[in-house]
Amino acid sequence: MKEHFNKKEILSAIIPVIENTAMRYNLIPIEISFEKENGHWFLRIFIYSNDHPVNHKDCENITRSIGDMLDELIPFKYYLEVSSPGLDKKLKSKREYEIFKGHNVLIKVKTPIAEDLSKTFTAKLVDYNDSFGLKVFVYDLEKEFEINLENIFTIRLNDIEEI
Instruction: Return the closest-CA partner of residue 144 out of 152, 134, 154, 153.
Output: 134
Return the percentage of the chain with pLDDT > 90, whole number: 75
**Res 122 pLDDT > 50:** yes
User: pTM of the entire structure?
Assistant: 0.79
We find that the CATH architecture of domain 94-157 is Roll (2.30)
**Res 1 pLDDT > 50:** no
> What's the rounded mean pLDDT across residues 91-109?
91
The H-or-E segment that residue 47 falls in is strand 40-48
Instruction: Provide the residue ranges of all domains of the chain, joining segments of one domain with +.
Output: 7-83, 94-157
pLDDT bracket for residue 153 (50, 70, 90)? very high
Instruction: Return the closest-CA partner of residue 21 out of 79, 66, 84, 52.
Output: 66
Give me the CATH topology for the region 7-83.
Answer: GMP Synthetase; Chain A, domain 3 (3.30.300)
* Predicted pLDDT of residue 9: 92
